[in-house]
Structure 1
């Protein structure tokens, strides 16, 4: 979810269907359930019909990096077809570059305090937080 503020007032909102819970894992990092938007990202990366339950840890990190890139696409207003397909609302207004970006929720907490175990929440949220932390636009 995105919210733009101008002088303390909400000026625009948007929602991209991306997040750590889209790929649920067991304690060892094996995918046990892929929600449809998560599967869509997996398919975009590895080919249509890829079995998300067979993804390696390295591939899950790739998925997290792609999710981070999708999040940044919405911030920058340069949406790929995949990002456009994952939007649940209209996009943010063109030409608005935020001065400050704040992350909230579970991924936001992991962004600030990375857990030692990337699968401690039985999803890829900590991997997404790491990918956001490493994304050049968010440094």
Structure 2
């Protein structure tokens, strides 16, 4: 099958490839807007079906996340020595995870900052769009 490329000659990834790559890295970057100011923070995550599950500290970040506003989540990898890499971007809305689900996922999700013992809430990012690009392997 021929690879689909975008206008920059990057390979366009399928939804399946995007979800596989999202699941392959434990750390991603969450982007959201709080009081008109954009924020990007690192978060550990898991992929559950087509959704992304992550932990957020109780407080301003959680309040801003759970206001049914658009958020974005990004994961990538790059090897400059071989000129290869990829990125996956998820746009959607964040929702608190139910208590039953929280117990299941909380055991698997570590905080990206070792030793963090603050109270967290488990959040599910429900995507409206998942896109990915990969640097084409040199021929």
TM-score (norm 1): 0.24
Q: TM-score, normalised by structure 2?
A: 0.24
| Higher strand proportion | 2
